[in-house]
Structure 1
Amino acid sequence: MGGEEHHTSSAHVTPQQRGISSFVLKIAAIFGMTMNHAAYIFGDTLPFWARCVLFAGGGLTFPIMAFLLVEGYRHTSNIARYASRLGIFALVSQIPYGLFLAANLNVLFTLLMGLGVLWLDDNARNRALFWTGLAAGAVLSLACDWGFLGIIMIYLFKNLRGERTAIVAPVGLAIFATGMPQLAELAAGAPTGDWSALPFALYPLIGCSLTIPLLSSYNGQRGRPMKWFFYAYYPAHIAVLGSLYVSIFGTLPHII
């Protein structure tokens, strides 16, 4: 979601362009989101070790999506078209997302609000107006997947660009904010043999952490174009996973 509006051709890769293209990042995000949603939809029907593996891989997804949203914003030639595309797929995705996965709004709404914050950051008449808009976006995003934490990460990815902390700070925020509560829960349950929080702790500690070297290796190149596939994959894979659950168990999965 993002990062597809731009980039020079990758036909002739110079030494400065070696690394990971947005295509590779999107493939990693696709694997991560599939693992994460499979873990949530199939839940306790899976072996404990499988949930640990799936949640650990799931942590790859949002930092990559947030990063590529910022890249897409920086290079888009038409912000209104970019926002419209995000909005349309957010609405379409809400059908399988709400039916099979969760009662809140899906992550594309978070990205859409993040895009609005990026635009406001560059176009607000004054900083007071921007900070008001950022606060409003953060509050509204509480109804969405990743919530205000996602909005702050998107803002940091944009405004720390070029700094040594450009990748570590936004991802580190996610690791700390989502990982520490899970570690506390894990520590509380460990003496009694309750390890149920472990899969959720692995999401930020393993998955999100792995995005730091991935994003740090980004070479600014598009690689193979896959804009429409990436957008369509989001609702499609949720619908497939949910339908598979229904076909196996004869009922809808538990909604989180």
Structure 2
Amino acid sequence: MGRLFVFAIVSQIPYIWFSPGKLNIMPTILVGLWVIWLHENGGRYGFLLAAILASTGDIVNLQYGSYGLFMIWIFHIFMSDKGLASLAYAAMSVFFAWASGWSFSMVFQSLSIFSLFLIFKDWKIHMRLNRYFFYFFYPGHIIAILLIESLI
């Protein structure tokens, strides 16, 4: 989690140029890991503490807000059962769409349910990437988007 924390800070620097005043996805992933950690290691109150932390996503303005944190948690809880994971994912998507007053963005986000077959597919591709590849890829793709945007 320490490396992810450092990476979240470092990757935020180019992201500020791309989207001032907003956080990139890395803090959401980091807090999602904290939610999982609380659930697994929080003892008697672990589930409650994890739920409270997951509920703060909108307050601190994380990308995807509480929805994103609960989705990370759902994938962890149901990682061994694709059917239950899909059902929980669909239920959570509908709940958040309803809770938002059926806002366009949440209804649209609910369509991500159709990506689950790609997520759960057993891909037979075996690639080896340098362990540092994504440390450069993520900020690099943000910079590439900025360059393309400046040309348009």
Q: Same fold (TM over 0.5)?
A: yes
Structure 1: unaligned runs, 5 residues or longer: 1-82, 185-199, 250-256
* Larger relative contact order (Cα-Cα within 8 Å, sequence gap ≥ 6): 1
What percentage of aligned pairs have identical amino acids? 27
Q: Do 1:89 and 1:232's aligned partners in 2 also have CA atoms closer than 8 Å?
A: no
Partners of 1:233 and 1:160 in 2: CA distance: 29
TM-score normalised by length of structure 1: 0.48
Matched, 1:218 2:97: no
Deviation at 1:145, TM superposition (A): 0.7
The amino acid of 2:128's aligned partner reads P
Contact 2:56/2:66 (<8 A) preserved = yes
**Is 1:236 the equivalent of 2:134?**
no
How far did residue 204 of structure 1 move?
A: 4.5
Q: Which structure 2 residues correspond to residues 89-104 of structure 1 after superposition, within 5 A?
A: 89-104=7-22
Render the CA deviation track for 1:114-169: whole Å, top value 9, x for unaligned. 11111121111212x54134313431564211111111111111112333221342
Aligned to 2:127, the other structure's residue is in SS state coil
* Inter-CA distance 87–222: structure 2 relative to 1 (3 Å threshold): farther
The 8 Å contact of residues 110 and 150 in structure 1, kept in 2 or not, is answered as yes
Alpha-carbon distance between aligned partners in 2 of 1:157 and 1:113, rounded to the nearest angstrom: 14
Q: Mapping of 1:147-158 within 5 angstroms? A: 147-158=65-76
Match 2:26 to one of 108, 127, 144: 108
Q: Distance in 2 between matches of 1:87 and 1:153?
A: 20
Residue 165 of structure 1: aligned partner: 84
The alignment covers a number of residue pairs equal to 146
Unaligned stretches of 5+ residues in structure 2? none
The verdict on how the C-alpha distance between 1:102 and 1:167 changes in structure 2, with shifts beyond 3 A counting, is farther
